[in-house]
């Protein structure tokens, strides 16, 4: 048994050594407005071929180090990941300022910026245009599902404890399969909200897979949430995400 574990560890280390994660800040435009995003990809995998793309949408803190790390983790899994900057240059670690930044972000502008980011990924030579998905947490989770309602070519949508739309007409616009991870003790996006969302999507004939983690509150996947982080649930949510993206986009 011990030798098997050592062998698996060696294989994992060799895979890590072969990965060449490249990160860079990239520019793109939205209606004449200059935008930037944080791009991550495995140079060893993109060499001479196209990969699926993923838009990574931040929490209300903005484009911070944790969000960039999620983009890098997706790059390790074989995606060209673009973490978007919906606050256009601002980020914070202060909850009061984050609240104000979120309130100051017009919903329609956020969607337009995401559509521009989607278009940018689609123009890259290393991205398969019809295999671009989205993932977001908290505020970003809500924007991830909003993008699915506005972009019928989106290939996959992951929502981590994001605000959920309720209008069946809006939800009927979704084409992409949807994965959702939510906390059972989340008082903002409650289990009742999640069940209603899931039921409406299923009634509309949409593909949806949601999981509610008993005992977990909001933002349970982020270790910076020191009082609410749940490592086992976070690990499970990440595994569900990777499996879902693999099944829908590879």
Q: What is the pLDDT of residue 48?
A: 80
- Summarize the confidence of residues 236-250 as an average pLDDT: 98
Q: What is the pLDDT of residue 14?
A: 39
Query: Is a pLDDT exceeding 70 seen at residue 43?
Result: yes
Instruction: Give the model confidence (pLDDT) of 54-104 as tens digits.
Output: 999 999 999 999 999 999 999 999 999 999 999 999 999 999 999 999 999
pTM: 0.91
Residue 6 lies inside a defined structural domain of this protein: no
Residue 197 lies inside a defined structural domain of this protein: yes
Closest CA to 80 of 107, 53, 47: 53
Q: What is the pLDDT of residue 61?
A: 98
Counting the structural domains of the chain, the total is: 1
Residue 178 lies inside a defined structural domain of this protein: yes
Instruction: Give the model confidence (pLDDT) of 133-181 as tens digits.
Output: 999 999 999 999 999 999 999 999 999 999 999 999 999 999 999 999 9
Residue 14 lies inside a defined structural domain of this protein: no
Whole-number average pLDDT of the chain:
93
Residue 190 lies inside a defined structural domain of this protein: yes
Query: Is a pLDDT exceeding 50 seen at residue 20?
Result: yes
Residue 51 lies inside a defined structural domain of this protein: yes
Residue 208 lies inside a defined structural domain of this protein: yes
CATH number for the domain that contains residue 130? 3.40.50.1820
Q: How confident is the model at residue 3 (pLDDT cuts 50, 70, 90)?
A: very low
In terms of pLDDT, which residue wins out, 197 or 18?
197
Percent of the chain's residues with pLDDT above 70: 93
- Summarize the confidence of residues 116-122 as an average pLDDT: 98
Query: Is a pLDDT exceeding 50 seen at residue 2?
Result: no
Host domain of residue 123: 20-249
Q: What is the pLDDT of residue 216?
A: 98
Residue 36 lies inside a defined structural domain of this protein: yes
Q: What is the pLDDT of residue 201?
A: 97
Q: What is the pLDDT of residue 18?
A: 60
């Amino acid at each position: 048994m011990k030798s098997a574990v050592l062998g698996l560890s060696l294989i994992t280390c060799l895979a890590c050594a072969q990965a060449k994660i490249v990160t860079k800040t990239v520019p793109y435009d939205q209606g004449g407005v200059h935008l930037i995003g944080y791009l991550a990809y495995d140079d060893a995998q993109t060499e001479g071929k196209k990969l699926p793309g993923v838009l990574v949408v931040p929490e209300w803190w903005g484009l911070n180090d944790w969000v960039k790390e999620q983009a890098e983790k997706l790059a390790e899994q074989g995606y060209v990941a673009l973490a978007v900057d919906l606050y256009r240059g601002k980020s914070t670690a202060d909850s009061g300022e984050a609240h104000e930044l979120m309130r100051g972000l017009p919903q329609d502008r956020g969607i337009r910026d995401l559509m521009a980011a989607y278009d940018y990924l689609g123009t890259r030579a290393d991205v398969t245009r019809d295999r671009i998905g989205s993932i977001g947490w908290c505020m970003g989770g809500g924007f991830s599902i909003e993008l699915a309602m506005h972009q019928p070519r989106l290939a996959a949508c992951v929502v981590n404890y994001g605000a959920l739309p309720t209008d069946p007409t809006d939800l009927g616009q979704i084409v992409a399969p949807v994965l959702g991870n939510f906390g059972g003790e989340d008082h903002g996006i409650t289990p009742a909200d999640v069940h209603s969302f899931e039921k409406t999507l299923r009634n509309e004939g949409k593909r949806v897979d949601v999981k509610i983690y008993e005992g977990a509150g909001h933002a349970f996947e982020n270790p910076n949430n020191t009082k609410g982080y749940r490592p086992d649930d976070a690990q499970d949510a990440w595994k569900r995400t990777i499996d879902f993206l693999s099944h829908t986009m590879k």
